[in-house]
Amino acid sequence: DIQMTQSPSTLSASVGDRVTITCRTSQTISSWLAWYQQKPGKAPKLLISKASSLESGVPSRFSGSGSGTDFTLTISSLQPDDFATYYCQQYNSYSYTFGQGTKLEIK
């Protein structure tokens, strides 16, 4: 099984900050990685697929990069609506796993 390491687990930041969340996989997965945002009591929302492809309607301050085993989600200028938990998710050989999550908190 592919192991995923998402970091940090918690991130404190202020409105306007640039933040980066990292996801590392134990085996190469090419660009088979997605990022999701989840707010309390709500279902996750797909932000980015194929490591860097922004979903329709997602603000351009969100961006994804990476391939192979190392991936990042960047929010260029935090807005109040962005404080949430973020998950990465990988696909490999008909198996899907999610990272442990990063809770983005207001500093």
Partner 1 sequence: QLQLQESGPGLVKPSETLFLTCTVFGGPISSRGYYWAWIRQPPGKGLEWIGSIHYTANTFNNPSLKSRVTISVDTSKNQFSLKMRSLTAADTAVYYCARHRRQQLDDAFDVWGQGTMVTVTS
Does 71 help bind partner 1 (rule: CB under 8 A)? Answer: no
Does 46 help bind partner 1 (rule: CB under 8 A)? Answer: yes
Residue type, 26: S
Q: Which of 31, 52, 65, 72 binds partner 1 (CB under 8 A)?
A: 31
Does 50 help bind partner 1 (rule: CB under 8 A)? Answer: yes
User: What b/e string do you get for 75-100 counting C-beta neighbours within 10 Å, with b at 16 or more?
Assistant: beebeeebbbbbbbbbbbeeeeeebe
Does 55 help bind partner 1 (rule: CB under 8 A)? Answer: yes
Q: Which of 34, 73, 78, 104 binds partner 1 (CB under 8 A)?
A: 34
Does 25 help bind partner 1 (rule: CB under 8 A)? Answer: no
Distance between CA 99 and CA 90 in Å, rounded?
8
CB of 91 to partner 1, least distance (A): 5
Does 37 help bind partner 1 (rule: CB under 8 A)? Answer: no
DSSP-derived secondary structure for 2-56: --EEEE-SEEEE-TT--EEEEEEESS--TT-EEEEEE-TTS--EEEEETTTEEPT
* Interacting residues toward partner 1 by CB under 8 A: 1, 31-32, 34, 36, 42-46, 49-50, 53, 55, 87, 89, 91, 94-101
